[in-house]
Structure 1
Amino acid sequence: MEIVIKPAALEQLKRVEFQEDEGLRIEAIFVGSCSLYAEHDLRIDKKGEEDELFIVEEIPVLISKESQKHLSDKIILDFNPTLGYKISSNEEVYRYNLQLKKFK
């Protein structure tokens, strides 16, 4: 899987102080409905057993094996001050207006 962090998102993420075993989680959770649909989320989280760790521009990125099933092989993360973070691929926008949350 290839992950691209655009300059505006990178600038924001470099301000985050990641603790040991923490990373930026990109999540895609399948939601059952009449059509195939996944809910996308972005947060600071601890690495779990099912997570794959990617280091992108010195940012630790976590994506679970399950989430990878619902994402393209290339993920793009961008940031806009008025629209928040956006997760997309070359084919589609998964979600925009995402705020970075901390795990609980």
Structure 2
Amino acid sequence: MEIMIKPPAAAELKKYDFKENEGVRIEAIYVGSCSLYAEHHLKIDKKQTDGDLFVIEDIPILVSKESQKHLYHNISLDFNPSLGFKLSSDEEVYRYNLKLAR
């Protein structure tokens, strides 16, 4: 998996103090329906054994193996003060208006 953090998102994420073994968790939770559907969330969380840690521009990013199944290989995270975080790939926009929860 490759994750790109765009400059506005990197600047916003660098405002947070991460404790040891913490990072920004990108979640893609399969909720099912008649078509494939996943809900996407961002939160500050502790590293767990079922996922990967990516350090991009000194920002720790956590993505579980289960979430990786519901995301394309290349994803990006952007930020707009009026729209919040945007999680996307070249193929689709997963979600606008993501808030970073603790």
TM-score (norm 1): 0.96
User: Residue by residue, what CA displacement relative to the aligned partner does 1:45-75 show, whole Å, maximum 9, x if unpaired?
Assistant: 0011101000011100000000000000001
One-letter amino acid matched to 1:100: L
SS in 1 for 2:3: strand
Large movers: runs of 4+ above 2 Å: none
Question: Whole-Å Cα distance in 1 between the matches of residues 32 and 72 of structure 2?
Answer: 19
Question: Whole-Å Cα distance in 1 between the matches of residues 38 and 71 of structure 2?
Answer: 9
Which runs of no fewer than 5 residues in structure 1 stay unpaired?
A: none
Question: Whole-Å Cα distance in 2 between the matches of residues 74 and 17 of structure 1?
Answer: 26
The structural deviation recorded for 1:10 is 0.4
Show the 5 A alignment for 1:1-104. Answer: 1-102=1-102
TM-score (norm 2): 0.98
The structural deviation recorded for 1:32 is 1.5
User: Residue by residue, what CA displacement relative to the aligned partner does 1:14-71 show, whole Å, maximum 9, x if unpaired?
Assistant: 1110000100000000012111001000010001110100001110000000000000
Question: Whole-Å Cα distance in 1 between the matches of residues 59 and 51 of structure 2?
Answer: 15
Which runs of no fewer than 5 residues in structure 2 stay unpaired?
A: none
Task: Provide the alpha-carbon RMSD of the alignment.
Answer: 0.5
Question: Whole-Å Cα distance in 2 between the matches of residues 56 and 90 of structure 1?
Answer: 19
